Structure 1
Amino acid sequence: RKIKSDKADSVKIARYALDKWQSLEPYSITDELRAQLKVMNRQFHFYVKQKTAMKNNLIGLIDQTYPNANTYFNSPTRSDGSQKWVDFVSTYWHVDCIRKMSLNAFVEHYQNWCKRKKYAFNKSKAEEIYTKTKELVPVFPKNEITKHIIRQAIDQLNSTSVTVETIRTLMNETASKLPEYSIVMQFKGIGPSLGPQLMAEIGDVTRFTHKGALTAFAGVDPGVNESGSYAQKSVPTSKRGSSHLRKTLFQVMDVLIKTMP
């Protein structure tokens, strides 16, 4: 858990290993399925970071042609990686794309767009969007150069989003082959996304002899601050375990706080 360079510490660790030789679990290489799941989880988090960066980049561009267009919809990402607000700004990438039409013409155009993209249509939402465009002031002009820049950013975001959703689905399929899958999926705050992530970072749970070992592996156990007769009572967590596991546990607790089961 922590690098030891002193000779006395090395001797202490060696003596512990000799004393507990019969009870210590032998080191074993993680089986292939769990290793693949862990690699997929690391790739998943890598592409999620890329997606967040590309989303922020697109929002920065849109704010100069159609401010706050990304706040119109809060629909979750579909299994194919598409998002409603991204599809919306792909079609209506500039406020003048809407302002050049009359209200009735835009409502009809928006309805056809929803039908083509298979989104729910709401007439009052269309009227609200049209009204807001009258108050917006774009920075970039409506021309082919601006359109190309925004469309390119959208294509990059959609491509990364597809990769994220593909890995998410593949992780769930891989995790379902492990024996503890049905038990993990019964936990509150766990779903087809966080469940496989939790299993990937914990690995084979049977290698932990007691709950304290798993707590220490995650780095959420209280640290120790002692010197002579002094012993601090309230100590922050050690944070010397798996940072990826702690992140997953944080996300699970975030879901629990929001849903309050």
Structure 2
Amino acid sequence: MQIALYGLAYWPELQPTRLPENTYRELQLLARQYYQMTSLLIKAKVDFNAICDQVLPGMQELMNDHAGRHKLSDFVLRYRHTTHILEMGETRFRKDYCKWAEKKGYRNRERMAALIFATAQNGIPVLPNAPSTQIVITEAIRVLHTVEASRDAILTQMQALAKTLPEYSLVREMPCIGDTLAPRLIAEIGDVRRFHSKRALIAYAGIDAPPYQSGKFSANNRHISKRGNRYLRKTGYEVMQSYVMHKPANDPIFTFIEKKRSEGKSGKLAMVAGLNKFLRVYYGKVTELYRSLPQ
């Protein structure tokens, strides 16, 4: 009833709203699940690392899991405990590790085997080499791999959907935006045509500074409003981190970030300013693209 009364009172001033197409709605649904799975994956990694430190101390410093590779977790599954490595003896362990590493496609096998055995000799495990410990380790790795596979499957579907949209290739060609960031960015912004201006998109992201006035007082130093889409702010911040990491030459957005830093702004404030400029560029390019398409 309140919405209806508001509509009746302000009907002449209300602007027509473009409902999102199914592709954008599906993308946003998948993006929400992607963030959820990412959160679960971080927790699973923390749990696994904590257990790893208690059964194979020092091994995390020697090897790390990378995208699509599970060297550390595969190693823990095979060798389980510091005691197990030491009971094998150095000669037998080196041969066994080199054979296993060659099968898995890992490099520096001889040198790594020596480092692992030396680390095992100096390590003091907290948990015993017992069946209960092995169950905990196995289940922690299973959860880690399962959640990672679920997140990757969601991302793959997001990429497939995003590629059907006209703006995907344009967004993908923007500096520092890869196959992971592009679908997530499109999912959070949605159909850019529903925003009447660049300022509306920036307000939707919640990085606009709201007016602050009281009588004759007017504040000059204000924080961002944070009233908009927090997922878009998070994704946008990752985009800015990508800019700072890759440092694209002669790029106006990276140049703008560096300019703000040279003016004494903190890294976070400089990246928020860069995100503001990035969204303006995004809005202009994608809007121009849709205007050029036949209706």
Residue correspondence of structure 1 range 45-84 to structure 2 within 5 A: 45-78=35-68, 82-84=69-71
| Matching residue within 85, 90, 94 for 2:77 | 90
Match of residue 177 from structure 2 = 190
Whichever residue aligns with residue 18 of structure 1, its letter is P
- Unaligned 5+ runs, structure 2: 249-295
Deviation at 1:213, TM superposition (A): 1.1
Residue correspondence of structure 1 range 13-28 to structure 2 within 5 A: 14-15=9-10, 18-19=12-13, 24=15, 26-28=16-18
Range moving further from structure 2, 110-119 or 57-66: 110-119
Match of residue 224 from structure 2 = 237
Deviation at 1:75, TM superposition (A): 4.6
Higher relative helix content: 2
Structure 1 residue runs of 4 or more that deviate by more than 4 Å after TM superposition: none
Range moving further from structure 2, 122-131 or 219-228: 122-131
2:32 is equivalent to residue 42 of structure 1: yes
Give distance in 1, aligned partners of 2:108 and 2:131.
29
Give distance in 1, aligned partners of 2:233 and 2:151.
21
- Unaligned 5+ runs, structure 1: none
Deviation per residue, 1:113-162 (Å, 9 max, x gap): 22332333432222112111111101111122211111111111111111
CA contact (8 A) 2:97 2:109 kept: no
RMSD value, Cα = 2.3
Residue correspondence of structure 1 range 184-223 to structure 2 within 5 A: 184-223=171-210
Deviation per residue, 1:83-117 (Å, 9 max, x gap): 22121212122112222233332222122222332
Corresponding pairs, count: 246
Give distance in 1, aligned partners of 2:108 and 2:86.
20
2:115 is equivalent to residue 128 of structure 1: yes
